[in-house]
A = this chain, B = another copy of it.
Amino acid sequence: MTRKIAVCRREHFNAAHRLHNHLLSAAENEQLYGKCNRPNYHGHNYELTVKVTGEIDARTGYVLDTKQLSETIKEHVLDKLDHNNLNLDVPELQGINPTTENLAIAIYNMLRPQIKEPQDLKIILYETERNFVEYPA
């Protein structure tokens, strides 16, 4: 059987952020982002699902070991983001406005080198129970 199967691992992290585009004025930022632009930050319990698609390894019965995937996510994503401020504390996010869209792409870029080609990678990131993104679509 050579059809592909997707394996998903859900993790979470807690972080502070504010939405702010430093190329715009304070008034423009306030108009665009409202209370998400407040200067002293707010925060979220982010729920992150990492989806890897590939073929099953006949020896292990796995596409990949989700325990190892969990450790990879911890090392390359959670240790950088969890209990930190996304505007101030994360080198990979310097100069990036931490919308859910931009954050999902940054997480994709942190993980893509860790996932073996030709396996596909997709990020699903919930900022709240009611707002989430998928990248790539």
What is A's interface to B at a CB cutoff of 8 Å? 1, 3-12, 14-17, 19, 21, 23-24, 32, 34-36, 38, 40-45, 51, 53, 56, 59-63, 65-67, 82-85, 88-89, 97-102, 104-105, 120, 128-137
C-alpha spacing A102/B60, complex, angstroms: 10
Instruction: Provide a sorted-by-A list of 18 A–B residue pairs whose CB atoms are within 8 angstroms.
Output: A3-B136, A3-B137, A5-B105, A5-B134, A6-B134, A7-B131, A9-B131, A15-B43, A19-B61, A23-B59, A40-B84, A41-B41, A42-B43, A44-B44, A45-B128, A56-B102, A56-B105, A63-B101
Q: Which residues of B contact A66 (CB under 8 A)?
A: 131
Q: Which residues of B contact A12 (CB under 8 A)?
A: 128-129
Distance to closest chain B CB from A53 (angstroms): 4
